[in-house]
């Protein structure tokens, strides 16, 4: 097994830094565009939501990060589907549909958290449905995300983020200056 020489290590380092920098910029753009439009960050029709209560345990643990898919037709859900809906202006809830109610006013859903003893007090009008739960959950990751969105978390992650950004810029400048030096050396030879 051969070891990488110095130029190969630099090349791998530069490629890795470029990929990480591109991913970071893409994530920043997604979050900024979502916040500017007043919605949740969305990528290819999917959102990541943090679960802050135990109402859906044991299937969805408190502190989990779940993936939900935004849905255009919000009137075709059936009993047993798990939906994310707007409970009030600043609160999304993910619960299971236990009854579909169709009447002259449209479609509404009676929902219940799997771990709750009783159904939710209010019916969910179909226009309040935001997305459908895909079944993909990352346990405990939501705690980290929720903390990072707090003031203390923001400050804690801001400093390493700025340092990483500065490191990326320095590395890219260094790589460009090395390329320029190589080009000028070729021109002199």
The predicted structure's pLDDT at residue 100: 93
CA-nearest of 133, 124, 127 to 100 is 124
Angle between helices 151-188 and 6-37 (to 10 degrees): 140
Read off the pLDDT of each residue in 34-60 and give the average, rounded to a whole number: 74
Instruction: Find out whether 134 and 69 touch, Cβ atoms under 8 Å.
Output: yes
In this predicted structure, what is the pLDDT of residue 43?
A: 66
Q: Give residue 99's pLDDT band: very low, low, confident or very high (50, 70, 90).
A: very high
Distance between CA 81 and CA 5 in Å, rounded?
55
Please indicate, yes or no, whether the overall pTM of this predicted structure exceeds 0.85. no
Cα dihedral 110, 111, 117, 122 in deg (nearest 10): -60
Report strand pairing: 65-70 vs 46-50.
antiparallel
Task: Let me know if domain 42-139 sits in CATH 1.10.357.10.
Answer: no
pLDDT digits (tens, 9 = 90+) for 64-92: 888 898 888 888 899 999 999 988 877 88
Per-residue pLDDT of 100-148, as tens digits, reads: 999 888 899 999 999 999 999 999 999 999 899 988 888 877 777 667 6
Q: Which of 53, 55, 150, 184 is catalytic?
A: 53
CB 64 within 8 A of CB 136: no
Per-residue pLDDT band for 41 (boundaries 50, 70, 90) equals low
Is 53 catalytic? The answer is yes
User: Which residues, including other chains, have CB under 8 Å from residue 46's CB and lie 6 or more apart?
Assistant: 67, 68, 69, 70, 134
Give 182's pLDDT tier (boundaries 50, 70, 90): confident
Q: Is the pLDDT of residue 21 over 80?
A: no
CB contact at 8 A, 109 and 134: no
Query: Which region among 1-15, 48-62, 167-181 has the lowest average model confidence (pLDDT)?
Result: 1-15
Q: With 70 as the cut, is the pLDDT of residue 52 above it?
A: yes
Q: Which of 32, 59, 30, 24 is nearest to 47 (CA)?
A: 30
Q: Report d(CA 143, CA 140) in Å as an integer.
A: 6
Domain range summary for the chain, segments of one domain joined by +: 42-139
Check residue 71 and give its pLDDT. 85
């Amino acid at each position: 097994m051969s070891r990488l020489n110095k130029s190969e290590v630099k090349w791998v380092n530069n490629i890795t830094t470029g990929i990480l920098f591109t991913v970071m910029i893409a994530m920043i753009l997604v979050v900024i565009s979502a916040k500017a439009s007043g919605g949740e960050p969305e990528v290819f029709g999917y959102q990541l939501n943090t679960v802050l209560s135990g109402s859906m345990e044991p299937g969805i643990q408190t502190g989990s990060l779940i993936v939900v898919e935004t849905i255009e037709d919000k009137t075709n859900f059936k009993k047993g589907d798990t939906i994310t809906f707007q409970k009030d202006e600043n609160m999304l809830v993910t619960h299971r549909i236990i009854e579909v109610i169709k009447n002259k006013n449209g479609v509404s859903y009676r929902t219940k958290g799997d771990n709750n003893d009783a159904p939710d007090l209010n019916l969910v009008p179909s226009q309040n449905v935001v997305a459908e739960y895909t079944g993909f959950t990352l346990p405990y990751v939501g705690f980290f995300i929720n903390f990072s969105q707090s003031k203390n978390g923001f400050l804690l992650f801001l400093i390493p983020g700025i340092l990483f950004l500065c490191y990326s810029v320095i590395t890219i400048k260094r790589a460009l200056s090395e390329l320029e030096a190589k080009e000028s050396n070729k021109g002199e030879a």
